[in-house]
Copies of this chain bind each other. A is one copy, B any other.
């Protein structure tokens, strides 16, 4: 049994990691940490886990003592980098679920995150943990930057089009809609029930941090100059992101041809389900799937790609475990053959 530590127990990514790892046959959670709640049980903070995970929370200071093989950082950005820095010479592997090591360099980071990066050296070491694009690099990675929730759905939607040079890379429009859990476990005005229920709105227009993560990753993976317009909107649901991509073809195209391209890229990807009909977020709820459909409108000459995923699973904890499996030489889908909770 491989030993796993989860740093940061109180958030949704922390509780999702526990939900998914509990039935993993080859790993064991040896440590869950919380600085504010140490001494309490995990199920005191997340009462749904009563009888399932009653492990006592420890300080992250004790991590070394537990000799973990791999550590998940389920921490806010800005905090995560401190642990990565501190633990750079430790023998365990790290998967960081924050945004601290997903971008190309510290300068871009501080431009979009509005703070200095305290561990610039980490950028060289970190691998962007999107297995469908970077499986081989992840296999050998010791520090994996787990992708953001929006970027996962956006990048998977656009990557084959860009890689094949089918579309104008400077005119990519991602109109995304997300559930509330993306805003975290802490009550805020924006997550106050009466402000969300029966409501819908765009937010972070022009300046959401995931914009640059999408743009850089698409540029590096396709070798093209890419410009991304990314607009998130807030849905009155807990989980799920649906992304609508609009792109302009630069060649003659047909829907059939497009479907063929996506099939070439993704038919062997267990976690991507290509669909004829439009995807729905409830069809992937609680799972590591990304459902994807592609359309071509001859009348307007637009390509449209839609992806649906669960922001806490393929958009966070599930993908992190997928990365863990790869990094540890385990079967990639272990503990991730989940079935959607529908309805």
Contact = CB atoms under 8 A, between A and B. Distances in A.
Interface of A: 12, 15, 19, 22-23, 46-52, 171, 173, 175, 177, 180-181, 185-189, 191-203, 205-206, 227-229, 231, 233, 235-240, 242, 244, 246, 248, 273, 275, 277-286, 291, 295, 297, 299-300, 302, 304, 306, 308, 337, 339-343
Contact of A339 (B22, B189, B194, B281): B22
B177 A343 contact: no
A197 B197 contact: yes
Contacts of A181: 194, 343
B304 A51 contact: no
Contacts of A196: 193, 197
Contacts of A49: 339-340
A342 B238 CA distance: 9
9 contacts: A12-B343, A173-B302, A187-B187, A197-B197, A199-B280, A200-B242, A202-B278, A229-B300, A229-B304
Given A180-B193, A187-B188, A50 B273 contact: yes
Contact of A306 (B22, B48, B202, B246): B202
B237 A198 contact: yes
